[in-house]
Amino acid sequence: MKIENLPSEFIDARKVLQVIEQNGFEAYFVGGSVRDTLLGLSIHDVDMATSAYPEEIKKIFKRTIDTGIEHGTVTVMFDHKGFEITTFRTESGYQDFRRPDKVTFIRSLKEDLKRRDFTINAFAMKENGEVIDLFDGMTDLHNHLIRAVGDASQRFNEDALRMMRAVRFGSQLNFSIEDKTFNAIKTNSHLLEKIAIERINVEFVKMMLGIAPSRGLQEMLDTDLFKYVPFFNQYITEIEAIAKLNLNGKLENEIQVWALFATELNLDHNQIRKMMKSWKCSNKMIEDVLHVVTGIKMLQNQQLIPLTIYQVGIDNLLNANQVMEIYDKAFKADDLQDAYQQLPIKNKSELNANGGILIKSGFKPGPQLGKVLNDLELMVINGEIENDEATLITKANELVKEN
């Protein structure tokens, strides 16, 4: 099969493949970009593979960068753009169920495609659009199936992350997992414990942000994968309930994903921290999610409270509202924007008094000053006092006298 009009993302990269071919080597587009082109989906990154060894690629092109030379990846600079090219390779070892012990560069396209995870990820495409399909990926594409290349059980023993990738692609494409592949996941699900949580996290979030996250969740439950991930293994019943929600097309980003789980698992702030730390989420992500959960609680009560809106911030308020969409309980985004715009101040720096100003008007530096400033901030947000310097200084004096 030949694709006649290649999407624009391939056009520049084609020239790189042509140059490699002119030098007597083979070179192809591989991986997700070929799959997504065949499906008519948009492409994010164009992966390329070649029979030329890294040293040979470096001889062909004037400017190259050793991006991941030990795995055979070199970045070629061409027409002022960078293109990553990876030498065909086989992987062997896998004694730890994750990384191969040894990567060997090879000349055979077939051997390179054989090590890839699923048939729909094992296409190669020439620069002229001709598609090479050695594992009948086209049939699986038509039948909407995720099928391991070769013996599924063996492939999951080599790299247990592939089991998460199966459910991730299932959700991203709304494909089913082919029976043998599915059963092999079920048999080997415990191997997921061998995989670094950071890598599981990436696949899990991609799954939740796919077009069919409920399907992905149900498959993780049915294959027992959920039993072998941190924290969630204690909440299988709650996760069964999440899988039944109408999630498709709702979640827009990672913050919303974690906030949904926090809400459905009914977690307090400490438990949310615990969940997210066990998944190695960043501190910034944790803080955002805590704000979103605060926002969700407010919206669930059908209230718009200035102080809460101030603390949560507009971005996370909109994130909270998007989670409310799942329950058909969202506010109109405009109403939230209005409530936010009506806040007297949007952050502390907009308060027309600060430590310096209060000290100049006679206040002593110290912890009391900080407390007074906090009280002023609250009063301004709640509309109890005007945000002008004179009012704030007067009020500050009153507060000090009261204490």
User: Whose Cβ is closer to ligand ATP: residue 165's or residue 291's?
Assistant: 165
Q: Comparing C-alpha atoms, which of 142, 139, 111, 109 is closest to residue 124? A: 109
Among 21, 84, 112, 159, binds ligand ATP (CB under 6 A): 159
Q: CA 105 to CA 107: how far, in whole Å? A: 7
* Both tokens assigned to 50: 């070649």
Minimal distance, residue 379 CB to ligand ATP, in Å: 50
User: Whose Cβ is closer to ligand ATP: residue 47's or residue 377's?
Assistant: 47
Question: Which run of H or E residues covers position 332?
Answer: none
Minimal distance, residue 34 CB to ligand ATP, in Å: 8
When asked if residue 84 is in the footprint of ligand ATP (CB under 6 A), the reply is no
Interface characters, 4-33, with ligand ATP (x: CB under 6 A): ---------------------------xx-
Q: Comparing C-alpha atoms, which of 204, 329, 300 is closest to residue 261? A: 204
CA angle 278, 279, 284 (to 5 degrees): 100
Residues 31-70 touching ligand ATP, rule: CB under 6 A, are: 31-32, 44-45, 47
Q: CA 400 to CA 403: how far, in whole Å? A: 5
Residues 121-140 touching ligand ATP, rule: CB under 6 A, are: 121-122
Contact partner at residue 116 from ligand ATP, Mg ion, none, CB < 5 to 8 Å by partner kind: ligand ATP
User: Whose Cβ is closer to ligand ATP: residue 148's or residue 299's?
Assistant: 148
Q: CA 33 to CA 275: how far, in whole Å? A: 34
* Count of CB atoms situated within 10 Å of the CB of 79: 8
Contact partner at residue 203 from ligand ATP, Mg ion, none, CB < 5 to 8 Å by partner kind: none
User: Whose Cβ is closer to ligand ATP: residue 2's or residue 44's?
Assistant: 44
User: Whose Cβ is closer to ligand ATP: residue 126's or residue 162's?
Assistant: 162
**SS3 (DSSP) at 135:** coil
Q: CA 113 to CA 102: how far, in whole Å? A: 17
**SS3 (DSSP) at 212:** coil
Among 21, 84, 112, 117, binds ligand ATP (CB under 6 A): 117
Interface characters, 22-51, with Mg ion (x: CB under 5 A): ----------x------------x------
User: Whose Cβ is closer to ligand ATP: residue 113's or residue 309's?
Assistant: 113
CA 261 to chain centre: 15
Question: Which run of H or E residues covers position 288?
Answer: helix 283-300
Residue 285: HSE in the Cβ half-sphere, 13 Å Cα cutoff: 20
User: Whose Cβ is closer to ligand ATP: residue 205's or residue 380's?
Assistant: 205
Q: How many residues does the chain have?
A: 403
Q: Comparing C-alpha atoms, which of 92, 52, 94, 93 is closest to residue 73? A: 52
Residue with smallest beta-carbon separation from ligand ATP: 32
Contact partner at residue 291 from ligand ATP, Mg ion, none, CB < 5 to 8 Å by partner kind: none
Chain residues binding ligand ATP by CB under 6 A are 31-32, 44-45, 47, 116-117, 121-122, 159, 161-162
Q: Which residues bind Mg ion (CB under 5 A)?
A: 32, 45
